[in-house]
């Protein structure tokens, strides 16, 4: 064996292994790529020939969110009609964007209540941490999602507004009859949810 052969053989052997590994890797990635491509095309064609759904929102229909939907906050009352919040300020402390302000007061029995309960909805992340942290289930995130506005000042909501907000939907994921009002609000016109189920209607 001359010096050239001695230096070339290990070099050739070192090159061959990475090339084989690379080929096998490309083949696997290629298989995954094409399988994803065909899965995507299959879904595209499925929707192309599916029943077309155009939700008539907001004029005559509206989507009812699922109960897990995190919309506008609302404050709850107990059986006696009193606000459940005990002004512990846990929600305000856990809020990552620090958009909740609670100022407590004590009544003649020494019970704490919120004197002020404000949320700046413009800064809220809708993470739901305030709802999770509340020890008495006094705050939750409801189904209301139509509160866009031209002024950020309108997104600063107080205790009275939060107490008047609608709660969670019992049955969501459906389209319900509604009407669009002149003041740009949407009213649900039928209490019984006779609307079609959104996803059921698409996936025939």
Which spans of this chain sit near ligand SF4 (rule: CB under 6 A)? Answer: 85-91, 95-97, 99-100, 102, 119, 124-130, 133-134, 136, 138-139
Query: Considering the complex, what minimum distance in angstroms separates the CB of residue 176 from ligand SF4?
Result: 25
Q: Which is nearer to ligand SF4, 9 or 93 (CB)?
A: 93
Cβ within 8 Å of residue 99, ≥6 positions away = 119, 120, 121, 122, 123, 124
Query: Considering the complex, what minimum distance in angstroms separates the CB of residue 131 from ligand SF4?
Result: 7
> Residue 113 pairs with which residues in a beta bridge?
105
Q: Which is nearer to ligand SF4, 85 or 174 (CB)?
A: 85
Query: Considering the complex, what minimum distance in angstroms separates the CB of residue 156 from ligand SF4?
Result: 12
| Angstrom distance (rounded) from CA 144 to CA 88 | 25
Q: Which is nearer to ligand SF4, 97 or 189 (CB)?
A: 97
Note if the bond before 137 is cis, omega within 30 degrees.
Answer: no
Task: Say if CB 77 and CB 140 are below 8 A apart.
Answer: no
| Angstrom distance (rounded) from CA 106 to CA 92 | 18
Query: Considering the complex, what minimum distance in angstroms separates the CB of residue 26 from ligand SF4?
Result: 45
Query: Considering the complex, what minimum distance in angstroms separates the CB of residue 173 from ligand SF4?
Result: 22
Query: Considering the complex, what minimum distance in angstroms separates the CB of residue 130 from ligand SF4?
Result: 3
Which two three-digit tokens encode residue 171?
Answer: 């049955």
Strand ordering across the sheet containing 156-157: 100-106, 112-120, 156-157
Element (H, E) at 75: strand 73-75
Q: Which is nearer to ligand SF4, 83 or 202 (CB)?
A: 83
**Helix, strand or coil, per DSSP, at residue 51:** coil
Q: Which is nearer to ligand SF4, 55 or 127 (CB)?
A: 127
Q: Which is nearer to ligand SF4, 63 or 74 (CB)?
A: 74
| Angstrom distance (rounded) from CA 19 to CA 10 | 15
């Amino acid at each position: 064996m001359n010096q050239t052969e001695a230096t070339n053989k290990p070099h050739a052997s070192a090159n061959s292994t990475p090339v084989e590994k690379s080929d096998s890797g490309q083949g696997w990635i290629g298989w995954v790529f094409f399988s994803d491509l065909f899965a995507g095309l299959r879904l595209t064609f499925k929707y192309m020939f599916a029943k077309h759904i155009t939700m008539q929102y907001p004029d005559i229909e509206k989507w009812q969110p699922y109960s897990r939907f995190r919309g506008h906050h609302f404050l709850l009352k107990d059986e006696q009609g009193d606000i459940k919040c005990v002004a512990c300020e846990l929600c305000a402390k856990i809020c990552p964007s620090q958009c909740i302000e609670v100022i407590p007061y004590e009544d003649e029995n020494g019970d704490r209540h919120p004197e002020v309960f404000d949320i700046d909805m413009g800064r809220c992340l809708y993470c739901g941490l305030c709802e999770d942290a509340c020890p008495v289930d006094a705050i939750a995130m409801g189904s209301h999602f139509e509160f866009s506005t031209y002024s950020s000042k309108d997104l600063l909501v107080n205790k009275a507004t939060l107490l008047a907000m609608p709660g969670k939907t019992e049955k969501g994921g459906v389209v319900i009859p509604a009407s669009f009002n002149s003041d740009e609000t949407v009213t649900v016109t039928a209490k019984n949810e006779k609307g079609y189920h959104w996803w059921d209607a698409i996936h025939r």
